[in-house]
Amino acid sequence: MPSMAQEPAQARLAQSSLSGFPEWLPAGRLVEQSFVDALRRTFELHGFSGIETRAVEPLSELTRKGETSKEVYLLTRLQADPAEQDGQEGTADPAKQLGLHFDLTVPFARYVVDNAGTLTFPFKRYQIQKVWRGERPQEGRFREFIQADIDIVGDGALPLHYDVEIPLIMHEALTALPIPEVTIHVSNRKVAQGFYQSIGLGRDQLIEVLRVVDKLDRIGAEGVRRELVSSVGATPEQAERALDLAGISGTDAREVARAVRSALGGAEPSALLAEGLEELSDLLAAAAARRPGALVADLRIARGLDYYTGTVYESFMAGHEDLGSVCSGGRYDSLATNGKRTFPGVGISIGLSRLLSRVISAGLLEVSRPVPTCVLVAVADEEHRGASDAVADALRSRGISADVAPTAAKYGKQIRFAAKRSIPYVWFPGQEDPDSVKDIRSGEQVEASASTWQPSQHDAAPRVLPAGVPAGTPAGTAPTAEPAPAADGPR
Protein backbone atom coordinates (compact mmCIF):
# COMPACT_ATOMS: atom_id res chain seq x y z
CA MET A 1 0.00 0.00 0.00
CA PRO A 2 1.55 3.34 -0.90
CA SER A 3 2.36 5.37 2.15
CA MET A 4 1.98 9.11 1.70
CA ALA A 5 3.64 11.63 3.94
CA GLN A 6 2.50 15.22 3.68
CA GLU A 7 4.33 16.94 0.90
CA PRO A 8 6.67 19.81 1.60
CA ALA A 9 5.28 22.74 -0.34
CA GLN A 10 8.71 23.74 -1.59
CA ALA A 11 8.94 20.53 -3.63
CA ARG A 12 6.21 22.08 -5.75
CA LEU A 13 7.76 25.47 -6.28
CA ALA A 14 7.43 27.67 -9.29
CA GLN A 15 9.15 26.73 -12.52
CA SER A 16 9.16 30.13 -14.13
CA SER A 17 10.84 30.59 -17.44
CA LEU A 18 10.79 34.39 -17.16
CA SER A 19 12.89 35.99 -14.45
CA GLY A 20 10.89 38.09 -12.00
CA PHE A 21 7.51 36.61 -12.97
CA PRO A 22 6.86 33.87 -10.41
CA GLU A 23 4.48 31.05 -11.18
CA TRP A 24 3.40 28.28 -8.83
CA LEU A 25 2.83 24.66 -9.45
CA PRO A 26 -0.60 23.51 -8.19
CA ALA A 27 0.56 22.92 -4.57
CA GLY A 28 2.16 26.36 -4.40
CA ARG A 29 -0.92 28.01 -5.86
CA LEU A 30 -3.01 26.14 -3.31
CA VAL A 31 -0.93 27.73 -0.53
CA GLU A 32 -1.26 31.16 -2.17
CA GLN A 33 -5.04 30.76 -2.54
CA SER A 34 -5.36 29.64 1.09
CA PHE A 35 -3.47 32.76 2.21
CA VAL A 36 -5.67 35.01 0.08
CA ASP A 37 -8.81 33.31 1.43
CA ALA A 38 -7.66 33.70 5.04
CA LEU A 39 -6.82 37.38 4.58
CA ARG A 40 -10.11 38.06 2.86
CA ARG A 41 -12.03 36.31 5.63
CA THR A 42 -10.46 38.47 8.34
CA PHE A 43 -10.94 41.67 6.35
CA GLU A 44 -14.61 40.87 5.69
CA LEU A 45 -15.23 40.00 9.34
CA HIS A 46 -14.13 43.57 10.06
CA GLY A 47 -16.54 45.02 7.52
CA PHE A 48 -14.12 45.80 4.69
CA SER A 49 -15.57 45.72 1.18
CA GLY A 50 -13.50 44.01 -1.48
CA ILE A 51 -12.76 45.97 -4.61
CA GLU A 52 -10.55 45.48 -7.64
CA THR A 53 -9.28 48.27 -9.80
CA ARG A 54 -8.23 47.96 -13.43
CA ALA A 55 -4.58 46.96 -13.99
CA VAL A 56 -3.77 50.14 -15.90
CA GLU A 57 -3.66 53.81 -15.01
CA PRO A 58 -2.76 56.86 -17.06
CA LEU A 59 0.96 57.55 -16.81
CA SER A 60 0.18 60.98 -15.39
CA GLU A 61 -1.51 59.25 -12.43
CA LEU A 62 1.35 56.78 -11.94
CA THR A 63 4.15 59.35 -11.99
CA ARG A 64 2.56 61.86 -9.65
CA LYS A 65 5.34 60.83 -7.27
CA GLY A 66 8.40 60.96 -9.51
CA GLU A 67 10.42 58.54 -7.41
CA THR A 68 8.71 55.40 -8.67
CA SER A 69 8.40 56.45 -12.28
CA LYS A 70 11.29 54.33 -13.49
CA GLU A 71 9.57 51.13 -12.37
CA VAL A 72 6.51 51.56 -14.58
CA TYR A 73 5.61 49.18 -17.41
CA LEU A 74 4.06 51.11 -20.28
CA LEU A 75 1.58 49.60 -22.71
CA THR A 76 1.57 49.88 -26.47
CA ARG A 77 -0.68 48.09 -28.94
CA LEU A 78 1.24 45.71 -31.18
CA GLN A 79 -0.39 47.06 -34.30
CA ALA A 80 -1.56 50.46 -33.16
CA ASP A 81 -2.48 52.71 -36.04
CA PRO A 82 -0.06 55.66 -35.92
CA ALA A 83 -2.80 57.90 -37.36
CA GLU A 84 -5.24 56.93 -34.62
CA GLN A 85 -6.00 60.07 -32.67
CA ASP A 86 -8.29 58.67 -30.03
CA GLY A 87 -6.12 55.76 -28.97
CA GLN A 88 -4.95 55.93 -25.41
CA GLU A 89 -1.52 54.48 -26.10
CA GLY A 90 1.40 55.22 -28.34
CA THR A 91 1.17 58.88 -27.58
CA ALA A 92 3.50 61.19 -25.73
CA ASP A 93 0.67 62.68 -23.65
CA PRO A 94 1.11 61.18 -20.14
CA ALA A 95 -2.61 61.60 -19.49
CA LYS A 96 -3.31 59.25 -22.41
CA GLN A 97 -0.34 56.91 -22.18
CA LEU A 98 -1.26 53.83 -20.12
CA GLY A 99 0.93 51.91 -17.68
CA LEU A 100 0.46 48.95 -15.33
CA HIS A 101 -0.10 49.91 -11.68
CA PHE A 102 2.91 49.36 -9.41
CA ASP A 103 0.94 49.38 -6.16
CA LEU A 104 -2.69 49.47 -5.04
CA THR A 105 -2.58 52.85 -3.29
CA VAL A 106 -2.37 55.04 -6.38
CA PRO A 107 -5.31 53.24 -8.07
CA PHE A 108 -7.34 53.30 -4.85
CA ALA A 109 -6.84 57.05 -4.43
CA ARG A 110 -8.00 57.54 -8.03
CA TYR A 111 -10.98 55.19 -7.46
CA VAL A 112 -12.04 57.20 -4.40
CA VAL A 113 -12.02 60.42 -6.41
CA ASP A 114 -13.80 58.80 -9.39
CA ASN A 115 -16.55 57.44 -7.15
CA ALA A 116 -16.67 60.05 -4.39
CA GLY A 117 -20.30 60.77 -5.17
CA THR A 118 -21.40 57.16 -4.68
CA LEU A 119 -19.18 55.72 -1.96
CA THR A 120 -20.14 56.07 1.69
CA PHE A 121 -17.47 57.38 4.07
CA PRO A 122 -15.57 56.33 6.12
CA PHE A 123 -15.02 53.76 3.37
CA LYS A 124 -13.28 50.54 4.41
CA ARG A 125 -11.89 48.52 1.54
CA TYR A 126 -9.58 45.60 1.02
CA GLN A 127 -7.90 44.93 -2.30
CA ILE A 128 -5.85 41.85 -3.20
CA GLN A 129 -4.39 42.10 -6.68
CA LYS A 130 -1.28 41.69 -8.76
CA VAL A 131 0.95 44.69 -9.34
CA TRP A 132 3.87 45.12 -11.69
CA ARG A 133 7.21 46.85 -11.46
CA GLY A 134 9.58 47.11 -14.37
CA GLU A 135 12.66 46.26 -12.31
CA ARG A 136 15.88 45.44 -14.13
CA PRO A 137 15.90 41.66 -14.48
CA GLN A 138 19.35 41.24 -12.92
CA GLU A 139 18.16 42.58 -9.62
CA GLY A 140 16.37 39.32 -8.96
CA ARG A 141 13.26 41.11 -7.78
CA PHE A 142 9.70 40.23 -8.55
CA ARG A 143 8.31 42.13 -11.50
CA GLU A 144 4.81 40.75 -10.92
CA PHE A 145 3.50 40.12 -7.42
CA ILE A 146 0.39 40.13 -5.27
CA GLN A 147 -0.29 42.88 -2.78
CA ALA A 148 -3.02 42.72 -0.13
CA ASP A 149 -4.09 46.13 1.14
CA ILE A 150 -6.59 47.44 3.65
CA ASP A 151 -7.37 51.13 3.89
CA ILE A 152 -9.96 53.27 5.61
CA VAL A 153 -10.62 56.60 3.96
CA GLY A 154 -12.68 59.47 5.27
CA ASP A 155 -14.34 62.46 3.66
CA GLY A 156 -12.66 65.55 5.13
CA ALA A 157 -11.79 63.93 8.47
CA LEU A 158 -10.89 60.47 9.73
CA PRO A 159 -10.88 59.63 13.48
CA LEU A 160 -7.54 58.63 14.98
CA HIS A 161 -8.89 55.35 16.40
CA TYR A 162 -8.55 53.92 12.89
CA ASP A 163 -4.77 54.22 13.28
CA VAL A 164 -5.12 51.52 15.95
CA GLU A 165 -7.60 49.35 14.11
CA ILE A 166 -5.69 49.07 10.85
CA PRO A 167 -2.55 47.38 12.27
CA LEU A 168 -4.54 45.24 14.71
CA ILE A 169 -6.73 43.90 11.92
CA MET A 170 -3.66 43.16 9.80
CA HIS A 171 -2.03 41.46 12.79
CA GLU A 172 -5.13 39.34 13.30
CA ALA A 173 -5.07 38.43 9.59
CA LEU A 174 -1.38 37.49 9.67
CA THR A 175 -1.86 35.47 12.85
CA ALA A 176 -4.45 33.37 11.02
CA LEU A 177 -1.74 32.29 8.53
CA PRO A 178 0.59 29.33 9.25
CA ILE A 179 3.70 31.52 9.39
CA PRO A 180 6.10 32.72 12.10
CA GLU A 181 4.84 35.53 14.29
CA VAL A 182 4.75 39.02 12.81
CA THR A 183 5.21 42.12 14.97
CA ILE A 184 4.07 45.51 13.73
CA HIS A 185 6.47 48.36 14.46
CA VAL A 186 5.05 51.86 14.64
CA SER A 187 6.41 55.35 14.54
CA ASN A 188 4.89 58.74 13.82
CA ARG A 189 5.98 61.43 11.42
CA LYS A 190 5.04 64.13 13.92
CA VAL A 191 7.25 62.58 16.59
CA ALA A 192 10.28 62.45 14.32
CA GLN A 193 9.75 65.84 12.71
CA GLY A 194 8.79 67.43 16.04
CA PHE A 195 11.83 65.93 17.73
CA TYR A 196 14.30 67.18 15.11
CA GLN A 197 12.58 70.55 15.23
CA SER A 198 12.88 70.64 19.04
CA ILE A 199 16.64 70.00 18.94
CA GLY A 200 17.11 72.74 16.39
CA LEU A 201 17.33 70.93 13.06
CA GLY A 202 15.62 72.86 10.29
CA ARG A 203 12.51 71.78 8.38
CA ASP A 204 14.64 71.70 5.23
CA GLN A 205 17.01 69.18 6.81
CA LEU A 206 14.25 66.66 7.66
CA ILE A 207 14.37 64.56 4.49
CA GLU A 208 18.17 64.34 4.65
CA VAL A 209 18.15 63.36 8.34
CA LEU A 210 15.63 60.62 7.60
CA ARG A 211 17.73 59.38 4.67
CA VAL A 212 20.80 59.05 6.87
CA VAL A 213 19.02 57.50 9.90
CA ASP A 214 17.53 54.96 7.51
CA LYS A 215 21.10 53.65 6.94
CA LEU A 216 21.55 52.75 10.61
CA ASP A 217 21.62 49.01 10.01
CA ARG A 218 24.03 49.24 7.13
CA ILE A 219 26.58 51.82 8.34
CA GLY A 220 26.10 51.62 12.13
CA ALA A 221 25.75 54.36 14.76
CA GLU A 222 29.22 55.75 14.12
CA GLY A 223 28.55 56.02 10.38
CA VAL A 224 25.21 57.76 10.96
CA ARG A 225 26.75 60.17 13.46
CA ARG A 226 29.50 61.07 11.01
CA GLU A 227 27.16 61.51 8.07
CA LEU A 228 24.65 63.60 10.00
CA VAL A 229 27.45 66.01 10.80
CA SER A 230 29.33 65.95 7.51
CA SER A 231 26.55 65.86 4.94
CA VAL A 232 23.41 67.11 6.77
CA GLY A 233 25.19 69.81 8.78
CA ALA A 234 24.02 68.69 12.23
CA THR A 235 26.11 69.46 15.29
CA PRO A 236 27.68 66.45 17.06
CA GLU A 237 25.20 67.05 19.87
CA GLN A 238 22.22 67.01 17.45
CA ALA A 239 23.55 63.83 15.82
CA GLU A 240 23.78 62.20 19.25
CA ARG A 241 20.20 63.19 20.03
CA ALA A 242 18.96 61.79 16.70
CA LEU A 243 20.70 58.49 17.48
CA ASP A 244 19.15 58.43 20.93
CA LEU A 245 15.72 58.83 19.35
CA ALA A 246 16.40 56.00 16.88
CA GLY A 247 17.31 53.73 19.78
CA ILE A 248 13.90 54.00 21.42
CA SER A 249 11.49 51.12 21.18
CA GLY A 250 8.92 49.50 23.44
CA THR A 251 5.30 48.67 24.06
CA ASP A 252 4.63 50.77 27.15
CA ALA A 253 3.12 54.10 26.11
CA ARG A 254 4.41 56.07 29.10
CA GLU A 255 7.93 54.66 28.97
CA VAL A 256 8.24 55.44 25.29
CA ALA A 257 7.03 59.02 25.80
CA ARG A 258 9.39 59.44 28.74
CA ALA A 259 12.33 58.10 26.74
CA VAL A 260 11.63 60.51 23.90
CA ARG A 261 11.49 63.50 26.25
CA SER A 262 14.67 62.33 27.91
CA ALA A 263 16.39 62.01 24.51
CA LEU A 264 15.76 65.74 23.98
CA GLY A 265 18.56 66.35 26.47
CA GLY A 266 16.80 69.31 28.02
CA ALA A 267 15.50 70.87 24.82
CA GLU A 268 11.90 72.08 24.97
CA PRO A 269 9.48 69.72 23.11
CA SER A 270 7.79 71.52 20.22
CA ALA A 271 4.01 71.52 19.86
CA LEU A 272 4.33 69.11 16.95
CA LEU A 273 6.36 66.66 19.05
CA ALA A 274 3.80 66.85 21.85
CA GLU A 275 0.99 66.16 19.38
CA GLY A 276 2.90 63.24 17.87
CA LEU A 277 3.70 61.75 21.26
CA GLU A 278 0.08 61.93 22.28
CA GLU A 279 -0.97 60.13 19.10
CA LEU A 280 1.72 57.49 19.53
CA SER A 281 0.94 56.98 23.23
CA ASP A 282 -2.79 56.61 22.60
CA LEU A 283 -2.03 54.12 19.84
CA LEU A 284 0.25 52.02 22.04
CA ALA A 285 -2.13 52.05 24.98
CA ALA A 286 -5.15 51.04 22.91
CA ALA A 287 -3.18 48.34 21.07
CA ALA A 288 -1.78 46.89 24.32
CA ALA A 289 -5.30 46.65 25.71
CA ARG A 290 -6.76 44.99 22.61
CA ARG A 291 -3.94 42.78 21.27
CA PRO A 292 -0.97 42.64 23.63
CA GLY A 293 2.35 42.11 21.84
CA ALA A 294 1.04 42.92 18.36
CA LEU A 295 2.48 46.45 18.18
CA VAL A 296 5.74 47.94 19.32
CA ALA A 297 6.92 51.54 19.04
CA ASP A 298 10.15 51.68 17.01
CA LEU A 299 11.54 55.18 16.53
CA ARG A 300 14.30 53.90 14.29
CA ILE A 301 11.79 53.80 11.41
CA ALA A 302 12.74 56.49 8.92
CA ARG A 303 11.51 55.10 5.62
CA GLY A 304 8.08 56.40 4.68
CA LEU A 305 8.19 59.36 7.06
CA ASP A 306 8.76 61.68 4.14
CA TYR A 307 5.44 60.53 2.67
CA TYR A 308 3.07 59.70 5.53
CA THR A 309 1.76 62.52 7.69
CA GLY A 310 1.21 60.69 11.04
CA THR A 311 1.41 57.06 12.12
CA VAL A 312 3.73 54.78 10.14
CA TYR A 313 3.83 50.96 10.19
CA GLU A 314 6.48 48.40 9.33
CA SER A 315 6.34 44.71 10.20
CA PHE A 316 8.87 41.97 10.76
CA MET A 317 8.49 38.21 10.79
CA ALA A 318 10.27 36.42 13.64
CA GLY A 319 13.43 34.75 12.38
CA HIS A 320 13.09 36.43 8.99
CA GLU A 321 14.00 40.00 9.81
CA ASP A 322 16.45 39.90 6.88
CA LEU A 323 13.43 39.94 4.58
CA GLY A 324 12.75 43.53 5.69
CA SER A 325 9.25 44.78 6.33
CA VAL A 326 6.61 42.27 5.27
CA CYS A 327 3.81 44.79 5.54
CA SER A 328 3.95 48.54 5.68
CA GLY A 329 1.67 51.52 5.67
CA GLY A 330 0.59 54.60 7.52
CA ARG A 331 -1.69 57.61 7.60
CA TYR A 332 -1.78 60.24 4.90
CA ASP A 333 -3.91 63.27 5.54
CA SER A 334 -4.46 63.72 1.83
CA LEU A 335 -4.72 60.26 0.31
CA ALA A 336 -6.84 61.75 -2.43
CA THR A 337 -8.32 65.07 -3.37
CA ASN A 338 -10.57 66.29 -6.11
CA GLY A 339 -9.92 69.96 -5.55
CA LYS A 340 -13.05 70.51 -3.50
CA ARG A 341 -12.85 67.61 -1.06
CA THR A 342 -9.86 65.98 0.65
CA PHE A 343 -9.88 62.33 1.65
CA PRO A 344 -7.55 61.36 4.51
CA GLY A 345 -6.68 57.68 4.77
CA VAL A 346 -4.87 55.15 6.88
CA GLY A 347 -3.83 51.77 5.50
CA ILE A 348 -1.39 48.92 5.44
CA SER A 349 -0.22 46.60 2.68
CA ILE A 350 1.27 43.10 2.60
CA GLY A 351 3.71 42.13 -0.12
CA LEU A 352 2.07 38.73 -0.30
CA SER A 353 4.19 37.11 -3.02
CA ARG A 354 7.44 37.99 -1.28
CA LEU A 355 6.17 36.67 2.06
CA LEU A 356 4.85 33.50 0.46
CA SER A 357 8.01 32.93 -1.53
CA ARG A 358 10.07 33.15 1.65
CA VAL A 359 7.98 30.80 3.79
CA ILE A 360 7.71 28.25 0.98
CA SER A 361 11.37 28.32 -0.02
CA ALA A 362 12.42 28.17 3.64
CA GLY A 363 10.48 24.91 3.92
CA LEU A 364 8.13 26.26 6.56
CA LEU A 365 4.95 24.85 5.02
CA GLU A 366 3.46 21.52 4.06
CA VAL A 367 0.35 20.80 2.05
CA SER A 368 -1.65 17.66 2.71
CA ARG A 369 -2.22 17.20 -1.04
CA PRO A 370 -1.77 19.29 -4.19
CA VAL A 371 -5.27 18.61 -5.59
CA PRO A 372 -8.70 19.40 -4.14
CA THR A 373 -9.77 15.79 -4.73
CA CYS A 374 -10.73 13.79 -1.63
CA VAL A 375 -11.94 10.62 -3.37
CA LEU A 376 -10.96 8.88 -6.59
CA VAL A 377 -13.82 6.71 -7.82
CA ALA A 378 -12.44 3.62 -9.53
CA VAL A 379 -13.88 2.36 -12.82
CA ALA A 380 -14.43 -1.40 -13.16
CA ASP A 381 -14.70 -1.25 -16.96
CA GLU A 382 -15.69 1.44 -19.46
CA GLU A 383 -19.25 0.01 -19.70
CA HIS A 384 -19.69 0.82 -16.01
CA ARG A 385 -18.17 4.32 -16.10
CA GLY A 386 -21.71 5.68 -15.63
CA ALA A 387 -21.96 3.96 -12.24
CA SER A 388 -18.67 5.56 -11.15
CA ASP A 389 -19.85 8.97 -12.42
CA ALA A 390 -23.02 8.56 -10.35
CA VAL A 391 -21.00 7.82 -7.20
CA ALA A 392 -18.82 10.88 -7.81
CA ASP A 393 -21.86 13.10 -8.39
CA ALA A 394 -23.48 11.84 -5.17
CA LEU A 395 -20.32 12.65 -3.21
CA ARG A 396 -20.01 16.11 -4.81
CA SER A 397 -23.64 16.91 -4.04
CA ARG A 398 -22.63 16.61 -0.38
CA GLY A 399 -19.55 18.82 -0.80
CA ILE A 400 -16.97 16.05 -1.15
CA SER A 401 -14.51 16.64 -4.00
CA ALA A 402 -14.36 13.57 -6.21
CA ASP A 403 -12.69 12.52 -9.43
CA VAL A 404 -13.29 9.42 -11.55
CA ALA A 405 -10.38 7.30 -12.79
CA PRO A 406 -9.31 8.31 -16.31
CA THR A 407 -9.32 4.74 -17.64
CA ALA A 408 -10.60 1.35 -16.48
CA ALA A 409 -7.06 0.13 -15.82
CA LYS A 410 -6.29 -2.56 -13.27
CA TYR A 411 -7.26 -1.42 -9.77
CA GLY A 412 -3.60 -1.37 -8.70
CA LYS A 413 -2.90 1.20 -11.39
CA GLN A 414 -5.96 3.27 -10.41
CA ILE A 415 -4.77 3.27 -6.79
CA ARG A 416 -1.33 4.44 -7.93
CA PHE A 417 -3.05 7.25 -9.88
CA ALA A 418 -4.59 8.40 -6.58
CA ALA A 419 -1.38 7.88 -4.58
CA LYS A 420 0.64 9.99 -7.03
CA ARG A 421 -1.69 12.94 -6.32
CA SER A 422 -1.99 12.17 -2.55
CA ILE A 423 -5.74 11.62 -2.98
CA PRO A 424 -6.49 9.84 0.32
CA TYR A 425 -9.46 7.62 -0.65
CA VAL A 426 -10.30 5.27 -3.53
CA TRP A 427 -13.92 4.27 -3.97
CA PHE A 428 -14.93 0.93 -5.51
CA PRO A 429 -18.50 0.80 -6.87
CA GLY A 430 -19.87 -2.57 -5.88
CA GLN A 431 -22.10 -3.43 -8.84
CA GLU A 432 -24.12 -6.15 -7.10
CA ASP A 433 -22.24 -5.99 -3.78
CA PRO A 434 -22.25 -2.84 -1.64
CA ASP A 435 -19.72 -0.13 -2.53
CA SER A 436 -16.51 0.07 -0.54
CA VAL A 437 -13.97 2.83 0.10
CA LYS A 438 -10.30 2.36 0.92
CA ASP A 439 -8.04 4.76 2.81
CA ILE A 440 -4.96 4.10 0.72
CA ARG A 441 -2.60 5.39 3.42
CA SER A 442 -3.68 2.80 6.01
CA GLY A 443 -5.03 0.24 3.56
CA GLU A 444 -8.24 0.10 5.58
CA GLN A 445 -11.24 -0.69 3.37
CA VAL A 446 -14.85 -0.41 4.53
CA GLU A 447 -18.32 -0.78 3.02
CA ALA A 448 -19.82 2.63 2.26
CA SER A 449 -22.74 4.40 0.63
CA ALA A 450 -22.13 7.47 -1.53
CA SER A 451 -25.17 9.14 0.01
CA THR A 452 -23.93 8.94 3.61
CA TRP A 453 -20.14 8.32 3.83
CA GLN A 454 -17.96 11.10 5.24
CA PRO A 455 -14.17 11.43 5.01
CA SER A 456 -12.27 12.20 8.18
CA GLN A 457 -12.52 15.91 8.93
CA HIS A 458 -8.80 16.41 8.21
CA ASP A 459 -9.17 14.92 4.75
CA ALA A 460 -12.15 16.97 3.58
CA ALA A 461 -10.05 19.67 1.92
CA PRO A 462 -6.31 20.14 1.29
CA ARG A 463 -4.63 21.63 4.35
CA VAL A 464 -1.72 24.03 4.54
CA LEU A 465 0.28 23.54 7.73
CA PRO A 466 3.57 24.58 9.28
CA ALA A 467 6.17 21.98 8.24
CA GLY A 468 6.74 19.15 10.69
CA VAL A 469 4.03 20.33 13.05
CA PRO A 470 1.10 18.01 13.81
CA ALA A 471 -2.28 19.20 12.56
CA GLY A 472 -3.97 21.76 14.72
CA THR A 473 -0.81 23.17 16.29
CA PRO A 474 -0.39 26.92 15.75
CA ALA A 475 2.48 28.18 13.62
CA GLY A 476 5.88 27.89 15.31
CA THR A 477 8.52 30.55 14.99
CA ALA A 478 11.77 29.79 13.26
CA PRO A 479 14.72 29.67 15.69
CA THR A 480 17.24 31.77 13.80
CA ALA A 481 17.41 35.48 14.49
CA GLU A 482 19.27 37.93 12.32
CA PRO A 483 19.80 41.63 12.87
CA ALA A 484 16.92 43.76 11.63
CA PRO A 485 17.99 45.40 8.36
CA ALA A 486 16.70 48.47 6.66
CA ALA A 487 13.05 48.10 5.93
CA ASP A 488 11.66 47.90 2.47
CA GLY A 489 10.24 51.40 2.27
CA PRO A 490 6.72 52.70 2.02
CA ARG A 491 4.19 50.97 -0.12
Determine, following the binding rule CB under 8 A, whether residue 118 of this chain makes contact with its own copies. yes
Tell me whether residue 30 or residue 478 sits nearer to its own copies (CB atom).
30
Measured CA to CA, the distance from residue 267 to residue 244 in angstroms comes to 14
Pattern 330-359, its own copies, x by CB under 8 A: ------------------------------
**Contacting its own copies within 268-287 (CB under 8 A):** 286
Contacts of its own copies in 7-26 (CB under 8 A):
12, 15-19, 21-26
Burial of 55: CB neighbours in 10 Å, binned 0-12, 13-18, 19+ = middle
Interface residue with its own copies, options 4, 38, 51, 362 (CB under 8 A): 51
41 annotated as a binding-site residue: no
**Contact stretch for its own copies (CB under 8 A) within 123-131, 182-190, 244-252, 334-342:** 123-131
Residue 278 near residue 228, CB atoms below 8 Å: no
> Which of 112/201 has CB closer to its own copies?
112
Among positions 219-278, residues that touch its own copies (CB under 8 A) are none
If one asks whether residue 386 binds its own copies (CB under 8 A), the answer comes out as yes
How are beta strands 123-132 and 49-50 bridged, if at all?
Answer: parallel
Q: Which of 401, 404, 434, 436 is nearest to 418 (CA)?
A: 404
- HSE at residue 126, side-chain half, CA atoms within 13 A, is 23
Interface pick for its own copies out of 6, 38, 91, 130 (rule CB under 8 A): 130
Q: Is 196 annotated as a binding residue?
A: no
Q: What is the dihedral of CA 104, 107, 112, 118, to 10 degrees?
A: -100
Which of these ranges, 251-259, 340-348, 369-377, 444-452, lies near its own copies under the rule CB under 8 A? 369-377
Give the Cα separation of 331 and 308 in Å (integer). 6
Residue 455 contacts its own copies per CB under 8 A:
no
Minimum CB–partner distance for residue 240 and its own copies (Å) = 40
Q: Does 64 bind its own copies (CB under 8 A)?
A: no
Write the single-letter amino acid at 359: V
425 assigned ligand-binding residue = no
By DSSP bridging, strand 375-377 and strand 402-404 are parallel
Question: Alpha carbon of 7 to those of 109, 421, 473: distances in Å?
Answer: 42, 10, 17
Residue 243 or 437: the one with the smaller Cβ distance to its own copies is 437
CB 129 within 8 A of CB 104: yes
CB 355 within 8 A of CB 174: no
Q: Are 55 and 98 in contact (CB under 8 A)?
A: no
Longest dimension (CA), the chain: 94
**CB of residue 212 to its own copies, shortest distance in Å:** 26
Of 176-195, binders to its own copies (CB under 8 A) are: none
Q: Is 31 in the site for its own copies (CB under 8 A)?
A: no
What CA–CA distance (Å, rounded) separates 64 from 99? Answer: 13
Burial zone of 150 (CB within 10 Å; 0-12 exposed, 13-18 middle, 19+ buried): buried
Per CB under 8 A, does 87 bind its own copies?
yes
Q: Which stretch binds its own copies (CB under 8 A): 254-262, 316-324, 330-338, 370-378?
A: 370-378
Considering beta carbons, is residue 45 or 271 the nearer one to its own copies?
Answer: 45
159 binds its own copies (CB under 8 A): yes
Options 137-145, 190-198, 208-216, 429-437: segment touching its own copies (CB under 8 A): 137-145
Smallest separation, CB 223 to its own copies (Å): 30
Residue ranges of the binding site: 103-105, 133, 147, 151, 303, 307-308
Point out the annotated binding site for L-histidine: 103-105, 133, 147, 151, 303, 307-308
